[in-house]
Amino acid sequence: MNSREFQIDWTERWLLGLVAFHVICLLFILSSGHRTNLQTILFLALLLMTWSTQFVNEYAAQNWRSFASQQYFDSQGLFISIVFSAPALINCLIIVVSRITILLLFIK
């Protein structure tokens, strides 16, 4: 598959919503720095959503015509891994680094 056959239309509403979701999660993580319970809940929710991407990918592959202009969802899940799972896991990593930093400063 060459690049002309598969180009992502970043103006699609569902992709813009997904980008907005990741940005809002990041802003929430950064603004809730010392709220351990909130960050724990968000961390677990992001991990649960990442775990469920296989099921979401299968559903989206079968129903893509109802929300997308082209079929993005391959059987290996590469697209959903890049646009959803990777940013979610990066947000989880930011939470972990934030918690470690706070604990190290607390121990000093």
* Domain annotation covers residue 60: yes
Does pLDDT of 83 surpass 70?
A: yes
pLDDT attached to residue 34: 84
pLDDT digits (tens, 9 = 90+) for 15-55: 999 999 999 999 999 999 889 999 999 999 999 999 999 99
Greatest alpha-carbon pair distance for the chain in Å reads 56
Count of domains in the chain? 1
Q: Which domain holds residue 83?
A: 35-107
* Domain annotation covers residue 18: no
pLDDT attached to residue 33: 84
Radius of gyration of the chain (CA): 17
* Domain annotation covers residue 89: yes
